[in-house]
Structure 1
Amino acid sequence: MDNQMNDIKPSAYLKEAIENVLNKKIIQCVQPNFGLSAALRYSIELEDKSKVFVKAATDDQTAGWLRTEHSVLASYQDNFMPEIINWIDEFVNFPILITQDFSNAFWAASDKGVHWRKGDIELLLDTVKKLSTIKGRHLLPKLENHNTGVWAKIAEDPEGFLKLKMCSGNWLMHSIDYLIEAESKVDKTGETLVHGDIRSDNICIDGSRVVFVDWSNACIGSADHDLVNLLPTLHLEGGPDPFQIMPDAASQAAALCATHIRRLSNDKSMPFWLKDVFKKLIAIELEWAAQCLHLDRPDGIK
């Protein structure tokens, strides 16, 4: 990723393992400034001027995620996935995944924000649609329905939600029953391959194709799951109004909004900037749900 790389030296073990399996010396190793897990990530240039991307687990949790990612990439091998170069999974050490490097591809997300070029969002939505047609054929976790009843809890004690200033008490009083019912009907189950974490820093554009990286949260579920979770964030980044893409997604929008409300309420350590992002997403999702349910638009923060 341009302007997001830091020069760094991998550990002696990691350097030796990579050079041995590839039979090439490492010339340069840089670390991208992305990725939220404790796994190590490197863009590595080899002695023949070729490049590979390396992700190395650092604990049992990241090892499990990395094995999931490897199994997905090895099983599906679709055009929107990185190509596997090699896989190191020794009993005495945490696994290492070596894949195609995309440091020269276009990344909309950078330390300067998110900037999509003309036509990128349309290409992205087309690729998400293609992903939604892939039938799950691998042993992955399956999405299940766990209705948390967030809107029902808000109905019982609306004060905390109203402090967010997403709507007035009057609007909530006239809309809450519809939101409760919509949330209760959401269905995440299905037989489709789900990436589980499609967002701008997990997306690059390599020529004319979109590539999704970081498949560690992959699972099997509803065909619309990835799109539903992408649209509000994409709208913040200049993308279309979610209602324009999914006008019949009342349950998904109400449930997604409820999920973000619950997390904002429960995560007391959330940094201020992330709280601001969550509030914006909640406002987008609440309006989306209201439009799908043919309710008046929320009369709070836009």
Structure 2
Amino acid sequence: MSPDDARSTSATTLRTRVERAVDQPTTKWIVPDTGLTAAARFLVTLKDGSGVFVKAATDEQTERWLHTEYLALRQVPERFVPRVVAWLDEPGSRPVLVVEDLRRAHWPAGHEGVDWREGDIDRVLAAVADLAGVRAPAAFEPTPPRPAYWPSLLREGPDRAAFLDLGLCSAGWLNGAATALTEAEAGLDDSGDSLVHGDLRSDNICVADDRVVFVDWSDASRGSAEHDLALLLPTLHLEGGPMPYDVLPAAGGWAAAGGASLARRILDDAGAPGWLVKVFVRLLAIDLAWAASCLDLPRPDGIDWRSI
């Protein structure tokens, strides 16, 4: 059997399983043009004109992700997650998750840019605050510990030089902030009993009528109630939302750790496209300014993120 034959057979099997689950034929399968995952994903139109979204595991890793996502969808209040239409987990087959079709919802992020409507960001922040109060079931693993990146970025050598070459601060500012940034990162407590989405960003959020819906729960874990909000705030500010400090003014650890993680990614991922690197550098600038405000440091003396 050729690779093409194998793919065709797999697609036919998936279609049969889904049609059996929804109890009607399907007429159209479209691969979404947004989202990053190794799982197979389809926007599917049914014979009666309605639709569903299908996510199918393709290997052991995506199988684990899909089990985590399904578990999360069963725990989060229904108004914040896609409604589960079917969960297919037969012995000998990769699991398949079928959820409601949200194509008619407003998705702020897409290939053409970001479009937050008036009031949407406030609604999202309120929804994230509500999510922080959801207790994670015992089946969820604790949020993985964060590596300490600031020591390697501050040490004399190529990493420090590359960081300074980004133009976000001077060597003098970095020297003066080194202790505070290192201690804030090391002291961040990401533990807790809250259900953590783990990858909350604008392309995993949509607004459907009176609902704010969060999708792609494959990284869900059990951890800090501040985790999702702290990771989302810099991106929201980049897209027109409030300054992170105005929402979380005592979050020096989150800001320092987030900035260090972004810096490490910028320096290590040589193959990243230029547009993505630019986004990361702008987010890093926001994190540095946020950390400085929280830790009573002078404002970074480099390029403002709006000029990048």
Give the deviation of 1:160 after TM superposition: 2.4
> Contact 1:77–1:83 at 8 Å: present in 2 too?
no
Give the deviation of 1:144 after TM superposition: 4.2
Per-residue CA distance 1:175-234 (angstroms, 9 max, x = gap)? 111111111111111110001111111111010110001111100000000001001111
Amino acid in the other structure paired with 2:36: L
The 3-state SS of whatever aligns with 1:170 is helix
Amino acid in the other structure paired with 1:223: A
For the residues of structure 2 that align with 1:145 and 1:59, how far apart are their CA atoms? 25
> Contact 1:87–1:97 at 8 Å: present in 2 too?
yes
Q: Report which stretch shifted further, 120-129 or 12-21.
A: 12-21
Closer/same/farther in 2, CA of residues 146 and 120 from structure 1, 3 Å limit: closer
Aligned to 2:124: 124
Amino acid in the other structure paired with 2:104: N
2:198 maps to 1:207: no
Aligned to 1:231: 233
Per-residue CA distance 1:214-261 (angstroms, 9 max, x = gap)? 111100000000001001111111111111111110111001111111
Amino acid in the other structure paired with 1:192: S
For the residues of structure 2 that align with 1:178 and 1:74, how far apart are their CA atoms? 41
The 3-state SS of whatever aligns with 2:80 is coil
The alignment's C-alpha RMSD in Å is 1.4
For the residues of structure 2 that align with 1:298 and 1:229, how far apart are their CA atoms? 20
1:149-164 superposed matches below 5 A: 150-157=149-156, 158-164=160-166
For the residues of structure 2 that align with 1:67 and 1:167, how far apart are their CA atoms? 43
Give the deviation of 1:147 after TM superposition: 4.2
1:173-212 superposed matches below 5 A: 173-212=175-214
For the residues of structure 2 that align with 1:27 and 1:154, how far apart are their CA atoms? 53
2:55 maps to 1:55: yes
Amino acid in the other structure paired with 1:295: L
For the residues of structure 2 that align with 1:299 and 1:75, how far apart are their CA atoms? 45
* Greater helix content: 2
Amino acid in the other structure paired with 2:88: I
Amino acid in the other structure paired with 2:256: A
TM normalised by structure 1 equals 0.93
The 3-state SS of whatever aligns with 1:193 is strand
Percent sequence identity is: 44
Q: Report which stretch shifted further, 139-148 or 54-63.
A: 139-148
Amino acid in the other structure paired with 1:283: A
Which segments of 5 or more consecutive residues in structure 1 lack a partner in the other structure?
A: 1-9
For the residues of structure 2 that align with 1:138 and 1:152, how far apart are their CA atoms? 34
Aligned to 2:13: 13
1:140-155 superposed matches below 5 A: 140-148=140-148, 150-155=149-154
Closer/same/farther in 2, CA of residues 276 and 103 from structure 1, 3 Å limit: same
Aligned to 1:255: 257
Q: Report which stretch shifted further, 114-123 or 21-30.
A: 21-30
Aligned to 1:7: none
For the residues of structure 2 that align with 1:165 and 1:234, how far apart are their CA atoms? 23
TM normalised by structure 2 equals 0.91
For the residues of structure 2 that align with 1:169 and 1:77, how far apart are their CA atoms? 48
Q: Report which stretch shifted further, 286-295 or 132-141.
A: 132-141
Amino acid in the other structure paired with 2:186: S
Aligned to 1:3: none
Closer/same/farther in 2, CA of residues 185 and 105 from structure 1, 3 Å limit: same
Closer/same/farther in 2, CA of residues 185 and 30 from structure 1, 3 Å limit: same
> Contact 1:124–1:210 at 8 Å: present in 2 too?
yes
> Contact 1:195–1:218 at 8 Å: present in 2 too?
yes
Q: Report which stretch shifted further, 152-161 or 236-245.
A: 152-161
Amino acid in the other structure paired with 2:97: L
2:284 maps to 1:282: yes
> Contact 1:202–1:213 at 8 Å: present in 2 too?
yes
> Contact 2:85–2:99 at 8 Å: present in 1 too?
yes
Give the deviation of 1:263 after TM superposition: 1.4
Closer/same/farther in 2, CA of residues 108 and 76 from structure 1, 3 Å limit: closer
For the residues of structure 1 that align with 2:84 and 2:94, how far apart are their CA atoms? 18
For the residues of structure 2 that align with 1:115 and 1:23, how far apart are their CA atoms? 37
Q: Pick the aligned partner of 2:301 from 282, 299, 302.
A: 299
Give the deviation of 1:76 after TM superposition: 3.6
> Contact 1:190–1:222 at 8 Å: present in 2 too?
yes
